[in-house]
Amino acid sequence: MNRKERALFIRKELKKLYNNPKPPLNFSNPFTLLIAVLLSAQCTDERVNIVTKDLFKAANTPKKMKDLGIKKIHQYIKTCGLAPKKSKAIFETSKIIIDKYNSKLPQKIEELITLPGVGHKTASVVVNQAFGQPAFAVDTHIHRLAQRWKLTNGKSVEQTEKDLKKLFPEKDWGDLHLQIIFYGREFCLARKCYGLECKLCKTLFPKRRSKVITKKA
């Protein structure tokens, strides 16, 4: 199979496994999605959902979050990784959304990435899941699997995103983001498979004998 044929096969198989996938993070509006995704860095989705259950009861808008202050935000999220840094970023982001955007979350990636703690991946998730815009957010799972499946040369996350966007239809980007993550967590784990063990890797590369060493993002 060439690269395009592999992409088509992968899309069909992932759709069988995870048809109509739902975002794993709990949120009620674009702002709470942004905060949840920001918190998910170096923290599991399960832990984020536990933390945000109480946090979002107390503050589900930029104003309420700003009014909490950095110390109270930290109290809510202290069991998440990088809590001190994230507390400050959440407070500053809330303040900027109020002052610069009239308390409404901006809908452009270019504007979102100017907010403290918000990178390209986080912004891509938000514009896709909150606003329905086409975006293909690439995290470490997707970067790893794209290399194991030879869909990219893996030089960087940015290159992986460009390569995947060329291979898959725009309408599928949002679902594929979730489907590849789910598959990576369930079957093609970082410290298992190595391109040799899971069903997709064995089907796509039956003659492969050497481990695929993932190039870091």
Active site residues: 121, 139
Amino acid sitting at position 98: I
Strand, coil or helix: what is 163? helix
Nearest Cα to Cα of residue 181 among 25, 50, 69: 25
Question: Measured between alpha carbons, how far is 216 from 190 in angstroms, rounded to an integer?
Answer: 12
Amino acid (1-letter code) at residue 68:
L
Q: Which two tokens stand for residue 115?
A: 């907010």
The H-assigned helical ranges of the chain are 3-17, 30-39, 45-58, 62-77, 83-101, 109-112, 120-129, 140-148, 157-167, 173-186, 199-204
The Cα–Cα gap between 79 and 51 comes to 8
Spatial separation of the C-alpha atoms in residues 78 and 85, rounded to whole Å: 10
